[in-house]
Chain A
Amino acid sequence: MNSIIEAKNLRKQFGELTAVDGISFTVRQGESFGLLGPNGAGKTTTIRMVYGFSPMTGGSLDVLGRDITREWRAIRGEIGVCQQENTLDPDLTVQQNLVVFARYFDIPQSGVLDRVEELLDFISLKHRRGDRVTNLSGGLVRRLVLARALINNPKLLILDEPTTGLDPQSRHQFWGRLEELKARGLTILLTTHYMDEAYRLCDRLIIMDHGKILVEGNPRDLVHTYVGKEVIEVEEPSEELKKWVVKRRFDSENLGHRLLIYSREGSGLFHTISTKYCTGGCNLRMATLEDVFLKLTGRELRE
């Protein structure tokens, strides 16, 4: 089995609204695959179809080589899901959350306590095992959700915005854990709004909007293809510069008080601009995935 997820022409309709509009993608064994897109793009809906939470409206979807519509139960037994919302059981302690969750799977109960200890160790929460989960900080909650998703030794880990709302320390901690899992060969499907997260974790990703896939590829390649190497940002650009950029047909974006020039030419262009046209702020920085994202999905607000 080489492909872990095989989606063909996947569609989801909520009444009049088409949330997912015929997308096709493949996630391969051992790969970290990202779903990116603005709010309402259809990321969470897609993920929910993958773990059989939402019934699909059309298309076909195989997970771990099985049809999700018919074999959802067997599939769910072999995947781990970190949902966007905190679904930990506030009535139970840290340890009980894992023990009780383990029962929901058809796994032998004899080794569960050892597995729970192993996971508490993995997320460095051993010393808090008796605490109620309502007393945990946001970062610890996410780590516990991750541990819970791993209780059944899944072949596929699904993460829906795993680090939203975490402080930088907690995010980096969390990424470290995911990279460890990745190194062990676990296949990961994740959605995120953080481009640095996607860039760091994903081997391949798709950017979605309005239920459709805009682009698919490796994050570095996407940056290279759609933006280039560097970005020159000019604050309060002069009319002269704006005209010059258009005349020279540079790939650029005029945001009014700010001008972005996507450059593939190294520092020569920056030198020219900064000495000839810049009066105020003028910066040269590396092109990022965020540039690709904004370029493809636009800058207007969604909600």
Chain B
Amino acid sequence: MKTRYEVTISRRFFKIWRRNFTVYKKIWLISFLPPLLEPLFYLFAFGAGLGALVGAVMYKGSMVSYGAYIAPALIAVNIMYSAFFENTFASFVRMFYQKTFDGMLATPLSLDEIITGEIVWGATKSVFATALMLAVISAFGLLTFPHALLLLPLAFVGGFAFGSIGMFFTGIVPTIESFNLPVFLFITPMFLFSGTFFPADNLPGWARGAALAFPLTHLVNLSRAVSFGELQGRLLLHLLYLVLFSAVFFPLALLTMRKRLIR
């Protein structure tokens, strides 16, 4: 039995992106609300509520308000959520329930292009969400401009990484309920332990090492540095980690989806 492994991706993947954008425009109000409201909720709960207890946090040798400390992390978390949930639950619905990919596979599109289009779309949703959050959070004076604008390209890089691993899970989960497992074992620990709400240095040594493996740790570091207006060469290492993460999970996503759909 011959199996063909060559990758067939042309810029046609953009057609899938446009399909998703067409749908997004129809439901833009629903799509806009989470990235607008979520940071407000968190800032209110953690910034005002918890911040009153915590007061200021030591960041790079100076004291910053707890609100300013967590705001960039909230953006990073939102980048993760936007792409990951788009390429897990939403992509799964399109693939499994709506048979959208099956329909596309009767046209001159390859499966690799469809999956690439989906992941690039997931990353785009991260960018949209970040743009909205930038507007909200900068209203509180918690971001340094113009440096913070780098969060937009950063959202794409981070979104691509989280979208790729999300799509990889979509390729292997038997049912939509199974996504609870990667959410519980992967997303939630990252949300808590990636230097989001407290410095990862406060963790015991072994946990600090584990946190370094989390892509969100690196995205939070990048986001926080950019938000405080510090651009250093060291940041390239964090960026490199995200790129490598994508370099592993993007091909894995293509592979598992092929195994799942090409019969």
Quick check: is B108 within 8 A (CB to CB) of the other chain?
yes
Which of A34-42, A75-83, A171-179 binds B? Answer: A75-83
Quick check: is A90 within 8 A (CB to CB) of the other chain?
yes
Quick check: is B104 within 8 A (CB to CB) of the other chain?
yes
Nearest B residue to A103, CB-CB: B15
Choose among A54, A87, A152 the residue that contacts B103 (Cβ–Cβ < 8 A).
A87
Choose among B2, B4, B108 the residue that contacts A104 (Cβ–Cβ < 8 A).
B108
Q: Say what secondary structure dominates the interface of chain A.
A: loop
Interface residues of chain B, those whose CB is within 8 Å of chain A, are: 1-4, 12, 15, 18-19, 22-23, 26, 98-100, 102-110, 262-263
| Closest beta carbon of chain A to B118's beta carbon, Å | 14
| Closest beta carbon of chain B to A164's beta carbon, Å | 15
Quick check: is A303 within 8 A (CB to CB) of the other chain?
no
Query: Are B18 and A103 closer than 8 Å at their CB atoms?
Result: yes
Q: Say what secondary structure dominates the interface of chain B.
A: loop
Query: Are B106 and A55 closer than 8 Å at their CB atoms?
Result: no
CA distance A189 to B154 in the complex (A): 50
Query: Are B98 and A105 closer than 8 Å at their CB atoms?
Result: no
Choose among A13, A51, A55, A96 the residue that contacts B22 (Cβ–Cβ < 8 A).
A96
Interface mask (A248-291 → B, CB under 8 Å = 1, otherwise 0) = 00000000000000000000000000000000000000000000
CA distance A92 to B18 in the complex (A): 13
Choose among B2, B12, B107, B110 the residue that contacts A55 (Cβ–Cβ < 8 A).
B2
Q: Which residues on B sit within 8 Å (CB–CB) of A90?
A: 98
Choose among A89, A96, A105 the residue that contacts B107 (Cβ–Cβ < 8 A).
A105
* Interface residue tally for chain A (C-beta within 8 Å): 32
Q: Which residues on A sit within 8 Å (CB–CB) of B106?
A: 51, 53, 76, 79, 81, 83, 87, 149
CA distance A85 to B97 in the complex (A): 11
| Closest beta carbon of chain A to B219's beta carbon, Å | 29
Known A77-B108, A103-B19, A105-B108; contact A13-B262, beta-carbon cutoff 8 A: no
Query: Are A76 and B23 closer than 8 Å at their CB atoms?
Result: no
| Closest beta carbon of chain A to B218's beta carbon, Å | 34
5 A–B contacts from the bound complex (CB under 8 Å): A55-B262, A73-B108, A89-B98, A91-B23, A100-B18
User: What 8 A-B pairs are tightest by C-beta distance, nearest first?
Assistant: A87-B103, A81-B106, A104-B107, A87-B99, A91-B23, A73-B108, A77-B108, A76-B108
CA distance A152 to B108 in the complex (A): 11
Nearest A residue to B104, CB-CB: A104
CA distance A105 to B23 in the complex (A): 19
Q: Which residues on B sit within 8 Å (CB–CB) of A92?
A: 22-23, 26
Query: Are B108 and A87 closer than 8 Å at their CB atoms?
Result: no
Nearest A residue to B99, CB-CB: A87
Q: Which residues on B sit within 8 Å (CB–CB) of A26?
A: none
Query: Are A86 and B110 closer than 8 Å at their CB atoms?
Result: no
CA distance A83 to B100 in the complex (A): 11
CA distance A103 to B35 in the complex (A): 30
CA distance A294 to B106 in the complex (A): 32
CA distance A73 to B1 in the complex (A): 22
Query: Are A55 and B108 closer than 8 Å at their CB atoms?
Result: no
Nearest A residue to B1, CB-CB: A57
Query: Are B103 and A89 closer than 8 Å at their CB atoms?
Result: yes
